[in-house]
């Protein structure tokens, strides 16, 4: 399978729909309709693993906290460090929006 075979018109349409979500409530409703509970839990677990890896936690600690296997954590770490850059971009964006701004901060 070629690396970009996941990029289809349907994938693009889905991503465009996600970009139109305007609130956490809207996102919750959309993703709950779109995904099974297992799929939602898996995605949430992966995102938790990414955040914990970014904090520098050891794989065993991440596994205990999230329930993810060390094999899953290793795979996620590979994508975090050598993937498309999506994890890093979102971590940076979230960090930037959480940083205090304005005079004297």
End-to-end CA distance of the chain: 50
The 3-state secondary structure of 45-72 reads: HHHHHHHHHHCCCCHHHHHHHHCCCHHH
pLDDT at 102 over 80: no
What pLDDT does 2 receive?
58
Q: Which domains does the chain have, with CATH numbers?
A: 1-34 (no CATH), 36-105 (1.10.1270.10)
Residue pLDDT, tens place only, 28-82 = 999 999 999 999 999 999 999 999 999 999 999 999 999 999 999 999 999 999 9
Q: For residue 1, what pLDDT is reported?
A: 47
Question: What is the average pLDDT across 81-92?
Answer: 96
Checking if the pLDDT of 103 tops 80, the result is no
Residue 87's pLDDT band (boundaries 50, 70, 90)?
very high
Rounded Cα distance between 99 and 91, Å, is 12
Q: Please, are residues 30 and 40 in contact by the beta-carbon 8 Å criterion?
A: no
**How many of the other CB atoms lie within 10 Å of CB of 66?**
19
In this predicted structure, the answer to whether residue 105 has a pLDDT above a threshold of 90 is: no
User: Which residue in 35, 63, 34, 33 sits closest to 48, CA to CA?
Assistant: 63
Between CA 14 and CA 86, with CA 12 as vertex, the angle to 5 degrees is 90
What pLDDT shows up at residue 101?
Answer: 60
Length of the chain in terms of residues written: 105
């Amino acid at each position: 399978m070629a690396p970009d075979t996941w990029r289809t018109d349907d994938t693009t349409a889905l991503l465009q729909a996600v970009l139109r979500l305007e609130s956490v409530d809207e996102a919750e409703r959309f993703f709950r309709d779109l995904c099974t509970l297992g799929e939602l839990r898996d995605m949430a677990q992966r995102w938790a693993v990414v955040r914990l890896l970014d904090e520098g936690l050891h794989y065993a600690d991440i596994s205990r906290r999230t329930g993810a296997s060390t094999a899953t954590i290793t795979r996620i770490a590979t994508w975090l460090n050598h993937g498309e850059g999506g994890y890093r971009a979102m971590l940076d964006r979230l960090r930037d929006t959480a940083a205090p701004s304005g005079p004297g901060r």
